[in-house]
Structure 1
Amino acid sequence: MNHLHNGWTISGGDVSDLPANVPGCVHTALLAAGRIEDPYLDENETKLAWIGRTSWEYATTFTPELGAPRIDLVCAGLDTVATIELNGREVGRTANMHRGYRFDVRPFLTEGTNSLKIKFDSPYVYAEDVRSHLGDRPNAYAEPFNFIRKQACNFGWDWGPTLVTSGIWQPIGLHSWSVARLAEVRPQATVAADGTGRVEVRVRLERAAEEPVTITASVAGRRAQATVDGIEALLILTVDDPELWWPRGFGDAVLHDLDVAVSTAGGEQLDSWHRRIGFRKVRVDTAGDAFTLFVNDVPIFVRGVNWIPDDVFADRITRARLHDRFVQAADANVNFLRVWGGGRYESEDFYELADEMGFLVGQDFLFACAAYPEEEPLAAEVEAEARENVVRLSSHPSLVLWTGNNENIWGHEDWDWKAPLAGRTWGAGYYFDLLPRIVAELDPSRPYWPGSPYSGDQNRHPNDPAAGTTHIWDVWNTDDYTKYAAYRPRFVAEFGFQAPPAYATLKRALSDHPLAPDSPGMAHHQKAIGGDQKLERGLANHLPAPGDFDDWHYLTQLNQARAVAFGIEHFRSLRPLCMGSIMWQLNDCWPVTSWAAVDGDARKKPLWYAMRDAYADRLLTLQPRAAAAPVAGGPDPVDQGEIFTAPGAPALIAVNDGRTPWAVDATVTRRNLNGDVLAASFLTATVAPGSAVTIPLPTDLTTPGDPATELVVAESGDDRTWWFFAEDKDIAWPAPAFTTEVTEEDGSTKVAVTATSILRALTLYPDRLDPSAETDRAGVTLLPGDTVTFTVTSDRPLDEKALTTRPVLRCVNDITN
């Protein structure tokens, strides 16, 4: 394709003929030209609402080669409601950001200079007109995103800004061709019971001439060929015992080159197509209310994160940026990325990286938190986008699940939608009819699930944790994170807890002086209704009251890390009853107080480190349990089928997601704050791969003399886990006492801290000294005599004194003292 990416200008409002990058959008063009302030800083977002309510025109000129009998204008993505004019004549119209368009423009082209204009209507005007015509529908936000096929979170979310974009957001160009082109290539790779690989390659042609053509396909040393008079063909290739594609932690993510070409009878190649595919089997077992993902017949405990668009402006999301984020996910022991339904069908870069790195991906169809009309003009667009994206993504082995929507079935049941709907359509026809039919037709080897959450039965509450997938949001919205322990879910597709971004991110994004939880910039970058009050409630339940902003920042980040880790460890401890944990969320699209583990400037919050530990292949955790019957004599391991049924005293649980048995030799002690051992036991268990074992503890370990001054610690090799009988706010922590040693080694700074008192949740914040600085751990609790070494990387030397004192080096003790 001959790209048309140069020479574009935009005009709209009082803006005229402003240079614009393509692919791009109006916001980034205005920002590059200095016509607007950075919308991510301070409260600048509020000044830019006019952009989404303005009509915009993109214009360029070009000189085409006119030799081919067919020349198409290929628009991979227009955002969103556009009219295309070539040399003053209308070529076509679009109304969907989530699909591409192709127009035969050969009759419109002339010799020499040609003029191309794309006129974008205001997304607001279009959506509000559709709403007026079809009747209003309930929506989680006071924005009309459910009346336009556009990225919903452009209209704002409880973590995102309201920046309603327009523009040529994907590549655009001219495709010259003759005779025939590959209009659609849809390979389906499967593995038979005997290990034989089979690739069914379905090809659909578009023709400019009626003559026989030859289609060839090749993969893994196999080749198939067919001569075609019409427009469709099926080529089948079989591969004996191919190397399989495995998800992270289970084997290599082996990929095979698949090439498809169409040629004339004389051998002239007309068009070609290339992908890397993987041989693997995938299914979801829902027997007995379960929701268990199997890959190559192996049950996978999903250690997942929810994924949102990594920037509001898609042209800034490069492959390198995605790679960095994927590395952060991999380093946190994540194996599953759920692409949330208020964003986009993710890019080829995204899926190719997932294929290469062995991530499992669940892709939502793009419906979120609202009732969606099923009438025109939206119904045809929904079908077109679904068909296009199922075909586009079905060749990627990383994609293992299609989901119909985010929270809409739940919303229809619980969010007071039924009365205002008054019988109007709300999306059920999409989720229970159209979308499963499309997946069954175009991608039959991959499972489809109607919604997230969904219990598997329309006669059952859609967010019943005892069946299918569930979202747990009462913890954040109304309750305490310890409530996770009361849940026995089968698969948790969303749960999470908020905290502010890194300090360096706040200092870059906000000019507030001084920073305070309620200072103007901080308040603007808190998008959740009642978010600050919920943060305050979470702190009050567990931690001492902050004395200043530095305390508040440390404690809210600590509480977020503890809350999510508590949930992950509990859900993993229920294996095999529960087989999935997808925390909300991995990433942010801008600097904001949110549920993310990695903030909008790509900095890891303490949550990331806690998630890394909680998602480790081998997890040792102390969980509240009450035994079904008294344990007599020595504490024998308890199979998960006999798992305890109510919160109570701590039990030691070992979870093994590794591929080899785990011999657990654990020393469990009850101690006081001075580190003195008050009771001790040595416990052993063998944990098979893909299983969990509960080890009851003797009562002398679980019965404190003074809950406010005692704790339990379990250690096995390098694994250590804690149980405190009282909340931090109710413990009289000693003044923090420790020594430090700072050294330089291999280009990094080593900060060794040796405790001479117990140190609770010791955390280093080197970004306060250098925005580039990052450490390798956070939230470490030390007993007297313990040493921990933080490894810090940075672009410049760090002041040793500042590195080892408050507010850079923090622990809970320094607040209570």
Structure 2
Amino acid sequence: MRTLHQGWTLTGSEFSGVPAAVPGSVHTDLLAAGLIDDPYVDGNEEGLGWIGRTPWTYECVFTWQDTGDERADLVCEGLDTVATVLVNGVEAGRAANMHRTYRLPVKHLLREGDNTLAVRFDSVYDYADERRAEAGARPGAYAEPYQFVRKMACNFGWDWGPTLVTAGIWRPIGLDSWSGTRLAEVLPTASADGRVSVRVRVEHADAPAACEVTAEVAGVRAAVVLGPGQREAVLELRVPDAALWWPRGYGEQPLYELAVRTGEHVVRRRIGFRDVSLDGDAFRLSVNGRPVFAKGFNWIPDDCFPARVTPGRLRERLDQATGAGANLLRVWGGGVYEADAFYDLADELGLLVWQDFPFACAAYPEGEPFRAEVEAEARDNVARLMGHPSLALWCGGNENHEGYWHWGWQNELDGRDWGAGYYHELLPEVLAELDPGRPYWPGSPYSGAADVDPRRAGRGTVHIWTVWNTHDYTHYAAYTPRFVAEFGFQGPPAYATVRRASSDEPLTEDSPAQKAAGGRDKLRRGLGAHLPVPETFDDWHYYTQLNQARAVVFGVERFRSLMPYCGGAVVWQLNDCWPVTSWSAVDGDGRRKPLWYGLRRAFAPRLLTFQGQEVVAVNDTDRPWVGTVELTHVTLAGDALGKESVAVRVEPRFVAGVETALRPGPGELVVARLGEERALRYGAEDPQMGYPVADFHAHAEAVAGGFEVRVAARTIVRELALFPDRLDPAATVDEQLVTLLPGESTTFRVRSERALDPVALTTHPVLRCVNERR
């Protein structure tokens, strides 16, 4: 395909002829031209609502020569959203769905030499308002009409995202010239037994003619001849001794190139041999017959302007997910079907993908034109994504059954449809036709049946939001779930991110953007009895980041301790789309919060955790974990008050609990060790522990690529954290939140290209701990 990405201009409102980037969006074009302020800085977002209500036109001139091909199609991989496409002033087609690819035959509109291509975008608000007037009002979580247009819902604002309603050519656009026959659809399925089934559909440029279609993988070839009246066929291959694809932590990720040809047209896909299944009663995923405990993150669009998310940026984000120990990402239903590069990386990294269809937190109308658009986008994206071995689960959407049952929708709807026909009829029908071998679940949370409360315990998925909204994080211990698809706790972004995005001087608790209702109060209230009352912004920033890490780690450890009854813990959320206080482990500038480091320990293959009066050993490896649990009851000074030891054997992918009679009081703790793993239980919350003022020696030394900061403790040092981004926004550190007992030491490795002040690296506010001198 010849891309048409050069020479575009943008016209709309009082602006004309603004240079435009394609793929891109109106906001980023206006920003690049200096016509608007950065919506990610201060409160600038609030003054840009007019952009989403304004018609815009993209236009370019391109040259074309008739090479004799029978067809010339304009292929639009992403138009956002309500668009009319014109070639030389003549309408070539219309679009009303951000999630679809449009292929428009345009040869009859082209002329030798220069041609004009224009894409006119109407106000998405006007379109949505018209559809709402036709279909009748439907409830949603926010007072925006996102359920009335097939567009990324979180563009309209969310409790972590700004209201920046976009328009533009957001994915590639180009001309595809061809003759004879092309492969219109290639649907590959590869199984663990080495079988490959390839369903193909062909399209003829002119009169249908006989054609041969071949498929080849790993040296194995199959062919079929289609007669003039035939457009579909299935090719079957079997690769002997095919190496299996596994999720990370369970094996390797070998990938094979599949090439499908007809005439000169070739489609290439990378496939992996594996089987995936879902036990719906227990909600447990299995790959190649082996149950997998899902250690995962929810994934949201990594930018409000998705065209800015490059393959390199995706690599960084998915590396951060795997670096924290994750084996699954849930692509959340308020965003988009991600770019091909996302799923390619997941294939390579062994990250299972749970893919929501884009429905979130609203009642969706089911009449026309909505139903036709939903079916078209589902067919388009199922065909595009089904070959990826990482794709483990299709899901109908996010919190729509929850809304119907628990958010008062039934009274508001007064009998009108709300999307159930999509989740229980249309989507499973499309999947049964195109991708029958992959599990489907109608929504999340969902308890396994349309007539059952999605919150019913014992089956299916749950979302736990009592913690954060109303309850202390210790309330996670009250849950015994089958699978937790959402849970989380807020914390602010990194200091350097706040400093870049806010011009406040000095910074305050209100400086980081906050979109969650009552979020600032919940952050303060969430500190509860766990931590001292913050007196300065620096205290608030450290304590709320630390509290976020403790809260989510508490939940992860609880749910992992319930394995195999519990089949997964998927944290809300990995990433952010802009600099905001949120539930993310990686902030909007890509910086890892303390939560990320806490999760790296909580998601480790082997985990030791206190649960009630038990020490639970979690073994998520293929080998038994054999050893002796050593428990020591000590004072803060390290004096022993009691000891216990118990021999344990933890079977592969299983847990084992050891009861203890040791009960620490204020000023005391119990230390549990099993091999290299350690867990600590404190006798009281930090403000009641009576910690001594932290006494330690810290020394920073320049090394290749940065610094090493060694800290040797003379007393207990609680939750030691190093924040080098305060000195260099690009600096990173390899560890956070390290508790040292008397006599222990640790070394932080800081990467920075700057000549940092060694003294600043070892003093407040760069080096922090709970019991520091105040």
| TM-score, L = length of structure 1 | 0.93
Q: Which residue of structure 2 aligns with residue 643 of structure 1? A: none
- The aligned length equals 770
Q: Does 1:543 align with 2:531?
A: yes
Q: Which residue of structure 2 aligns with residue 417 of structure 1? A: 409
Q: CA deviation at 1:460?
A: 2.3
Distance across 2 between alignment mates of 1:459 and 1:434: 18
Q: Which residue of structure 2 aligns with residue 632 of structure 1? A: none
Q: Which residue of structure 1 aligns with residue 3 of structure 2? A: 3
**Letter of the 1:273 counterpart:** V
Q: Does 1:397 align with 2:398?
A: no
Q: Which residue of structure 2 aligns with residue 665 of structure 1? A: 628
Which deviations, in whole Å up to 9, do the C-alpha atoms of 1:467-499 show, x marking residues without a partner?
111100001100010000010000000000000
Local SS of the residue matching 1:63: strand
Structure 1 vs Structure 2 CA RMSD: 1.1
Alignment of 1:637-656 (within 5 A): 650-656=613-619
Which deviations, in whole Å up to 9, do the C-alpha atoms of 1:565-587 show, x marking residues without a partner?
00000000011110100000000
Q: Does 1:362 align with 2:354?
A: yes
Whether the 8 Å contact between 1:190 and 1:445 is mirrored in structure 2 is no
Of 559-568 and 61-70, the range deviating more from structure 2: 61-70
Distance across 2 between alignment mates of 1:405 and 1:167: 25
Q: Which residue of structure 1 aligns with residue 16 of structure 2? A: 16
Alignment of 1:177-576 (within 5 A): 177-191=178-192, 196-208=193-205, 209-229=207-227, 230-263=230-263, 269=264, 271-286=265-280, 289-518=281-510, 521-522=511-512, 525-576=513-564
Local SS of the residue matching 1:462: coil
4+ residue runs over 6 A deviation? none
Q: Which residue of structure 1 aligns with residue 25 of structure 2? A: 25
Q: CA deviation at 1:516?
A: 0.9
Distance across 1 between alignment mates of 2:451 and 2:167: 41
Whether the 8 Å contact between 1:374 and 1:429 is mirrored in structure 2 is yes
Q: 1:743 aligns with which of 683, 701, 709?
A: 701
Local SS of the residue matching 2:733: coil
Distance across 2 between alignment mates of 1:407 and 1:684: 45
Whether the 8 Å contact between 2:331 and 2:354 is mirrored in structure 1 is yes
Whether the 8 Å contact between 2:65 and 2:113 is mirrored in structure 1 is no
Whether the 8 Å contact between 1:51 and 1:165 is mirrored in structure 2 is yes
Q: Does 1:688 align with 2:651?
A: yes
Q: Which residue of structure 2 aligns with residue 102 of structure 1? A: 103
**Letter of the 1:142 counterpart:** A
Which deviations, in whole Å up to 9, do the C-alpha atoms of 1:227-247 show, x marking residues without a partner?
112211111111122101111
Q: CA deviation at 1:121?
A: 0.3
Whether the 8 Å contact between 2:668 and 2:689 is mirrored in structure 1 is no
Distance across 1 between alignment mates of 2:7 and 2:702: 50
Whether the 8 Å contact between 1:96 and 1:381 is mirrored in structure 2 is yes
**Letter of the 2:433 counterpart:** E
Identity %: 58
Which deviations, in whole Å up to 9, do the C-alpha atoms of 1:534-588 show, x marking residues without a partner?
1111112311101100000000000000000000000000111101000000001
**Letter of the 2:637 counterpart:** N
**Letter of the 1:472 counterpart:** I
Distance across 1 between alignment mates of 2:32 and 2:524: 39
**Letter of the 2:573 counterpart:** Q
Q: Does 1:40 align with 2:40?
A: yes
Q: CA deviation at 1:526?
A: 0.2
Whether the 8 Å contact between 2:706 and 2:753 is mirrored in structure 1 is no
Distance across 2 between alignment mates of 1:716 and 1:695: 11
Which deviations, in whole Å up to 9, do the C-alpha atoms of 1:166-190 show, x marking residues without a partner?
0011111111111111110111112
**Letter of the 1:285 counterpart:** D
Q: CA deviation at 1:415?
A: 0.6
Whether the 8 Å contact between 2:300 and 2:332 is mirrored in structure 1 is yes
Of 30-39 and 58-67, the range deviating more from structure 2: 58-67
Local SS of the residue matching 1:456: coil
Distance across 2 between alignment mates of 1:675 and 1:125: 68
Distance across 2 between alignment mates of 1:282 and 1:248: 14
Q: Which residue of structure 2 aligns with residue 788 of structure 1? A: 746
Q: CA deviation at 1:436?
A: 1.0
Q: CA deviation at 1:159?
A: 0.6
Distance across 2 between alignment mates of 1:292 and 1:198: 25
Q: CA deviation at 1:784?
A: 1.1
**Letter of the 1:212 counterpart:** A
Alignment of 1:39-58 (within 5 A): 39-58=39-58
Local SS of the residue matching 2:129: helix
Of 56-65 and 480-489, the range deviating more from structure 2: 56-65
Distance across 2 between alignment mates of 1:664 and 1:221: 48
Local SS of the residue matching 1:541: coil
Of 353-362 and 774-783, the range deviating more from structure 2: 774-783
Of 797-806 and 248-257, the range deviating more from structure 2: 797-806
Q: Does 1:798 align with 2:761?
A: no
Q: Which residue of structure 1 aligns with residue 141 of structure 2? A: 140
Q: Which residue of structure 2 aligns with residue 807 of structure 1? A: 765
List runs of 5+ in structure 1 lacking aligned partners.
264-268, 625-649
Whether the 8 Å contact between 1:480 and 1:541 is mirrored in structure 2 is no
Alignment of 1:569-588 (within 5 A): 569-588=557-576
Distance across 2 between alignment mates of 1:664 and 1:527: 48
Whether the 8 Å contact between 1:662 and 1:687 is mirrored in structure 2 is yes
List runs of 5+ in structure 2 lacking aligned partners.
none
**Letter of the 1:454 counterpart:** Y
